[in-house]
A = this chain, B = another copy of it.
Amino acid sequence: MANNQNKRITLQEVAEHAGVSTTTASLVVRNNPRISQATRERVLNSIEELGYIYDRVAANMRSQSSNLIGVIVTNIANKFISEFLIGAQNKLEEFGYTVLLGTTFDNAEKQQNLISTMVEHRVDGLILNPSSRSLEKTVKHLNNLKIPLVLANRELHTINADYVGIDYEQGAYQAVTHLVKKGHRRIAFLGGIRESSTWIGRMEGYRRAYKENDLLFDESIIIDSSPTIEGGEEAALALLSSSNPPTAIFCFSDMIAFGVMKVLSKQGIEVGSDMDIVGFDNIPDAEIYHPPLTTVSSFPKSIGIQAAKLLHSKISGESTELQRIILKPELVVRDTSK
């Protein structure tokens, strides 16, 4: 083995090899047009010959910018989140950033650690899909952040930051109104974490639809849970044990709806005839599920794209005022409520 096997070639060595200064070599690797074609080619040849690899870490350190964006999400196994992440990542890469990914698994401590790590890595900006609960320390930290921050999907009202999400209130309102038009007068709301802004938003829409249609509001058919299939199963079991079950269920998410339907079908309750169901998110599975699920479509990929765009405009100083971008949801009627 050669003894220079593990040593990276530096720009200075390239410069020496090409017979120019490091300044010139540096300008060449960054495609600065003020270097003559002849010199540029000499340098590029040396780079090729020596197998030089640009050291972005050193460059970033000197120029005080990292081109790194931290993206922190609750759980990539959730289809809504993975779609969101794809949108954000694609757009960020288009802008020339590299993504530093963190997953909190909805854990507040993990979220705090990830934010610290990313800030220590000198990310140029941060997109945060907050966990359902955040430490006070984290709120303080985020409010003192010197870099642009965009919150996504879940709002933290204690934090002064830009926000991109969908109109949960409107989505829930559409879902419940749709069920009312089908003749339902007793509609449960199942799943989701009661403290989260995403749950509260839906609750407001649910209430508005109840009020406008003079339905009898009943806390006992509003059951929260963790936002997973298992959570949906638990909520459904709790609901079925009640003395006065509803005729339709509005679910916090499609995942919740899947859990609910799993329980219903085990109990011999036919979805779409005995009980109508509406989900939320319109994940790809909603369409291929049996029966296909009526749901509120919420364009997670668009949210990701918007968040990336907004962050980029903040970083480049184009936009300075705080913004809230709220995307409109859309009801997709399928077999669970026809």
| Residues of chain A at the chain B interface (Cβ within 8 Å) | 5-6, 8, 51, 53-58, 60-61, 66, 68, 76-77, 79, 82-83, 85-86, 89, 98-103, 117-122, 144, 146, 229, 258, 262, 284-285, 288-290
Q: Given the complex of chains A and B, what is the CA–CA distance between A258 and B288 in angstroms? A: 8
Interface contact B57-A122, CB-CB below 8 Å: yes
Is B122 a contact partner of A56 (Cβ separation < 8 A)?
yes
Whose C-beta in chain B lies nearest to the C-beta of A146? B6
Q: CA A100 – CA B99 in complex, angstroms?
A: 6
Which residues from chain B contact A289 at a C-beta distance below 8 Å? Answer: 288-290
Contacts of A51 in B (CB 8 A): 144
Q: Which of chain B's residues have a CB closer than 8 A to the CB of A56?
A: 117, 120-122
Instruction: Say whether B122 contacts A55, CB under 8 Å.
Output: yes
Q: Do A103 and B77 touch across chains, with their CB atoms under 8 A apart? A: no
Lowest 7 CB-CB distances: which A-B pairs, in order?
A290-B290, A101-B101, A56-B120, A57-B122, A76-B82, A54-B120, A77-B82
Cβ-defined partner of A229 (8 Å) among B89, B100, B284: B284
Q: Give Cα A83 to B75, complex, Å.
A: 10
Q: How far is the CB of A167 from chain B (nearest CB, A)?
A: 24
In the bound complex, residues from chain B placing their C-beta under 8 Å from that of A85 are: 76
Cβ distance A71 to chain B, nearest Cβ, rounded Å: 8
Name A79's contact: one of B77, B117, B258 (CB within 8 Å): B77
Q: Which of A56, A99, A288: most chain B CB closer than 10 A?
A: A288
**Would you call B98 and A100 a contact (CB within 8 A)?**
yes
- A103 and B53 CA atoms in complex are apart in Å by 22
Q: Is B60 within 8 A of A57, CB to CB?
A: yes
Beyond A57-B121, A77-B79, list 19 extra A-B contacts (CB 8 Å).
A6-B146, A8-B146, A51-B144, A53-B119, A55-B120, A55-B122, A56-B122, A57-B61, A57-B66, A76-B76, A76-B82, A76-B85, A76-B86, A77-B86, A82-B82, A89-B101, A89-B103, A98-B118, A100-B101
Whole-angstrom distance from the CB of A276 to the nearest CB of chain B?
18
Nearest CB in chain B: distance from A42 CB, A: 22
Contact indicator A103/B122 (Cβ below 8 Å): no
Given A77-B83, A288-B258 in contact, is the A98-B119 Cβ separation under 8 Å?
no
Q: How far is the CB of A258 from chain B (nearest CB, A)?
A: 6
- Report Cα–Cα, A86/B78, bound state, in Å: 11
B53 touches A120 (CB 8 A): yes
Check if A288 sits within 8 Å of B229, measured CB to CB: yes
* Nearest chain B residue, comparing its CB with the CB of A8: B146
* Assembled-state Cα–Cα distance A16/B122 (Å): 23
Contacts of A144 in B (CB 8 A): 51
Q: How far is the CB of A62 from chain B (nearest CB, A)?
A: 9
Q: Quote the shortest CB–CB distance from A282 to chain B (angstroms).
A: 14
Q: Which residue of B lies closest to A290 (CB)?
A: B290
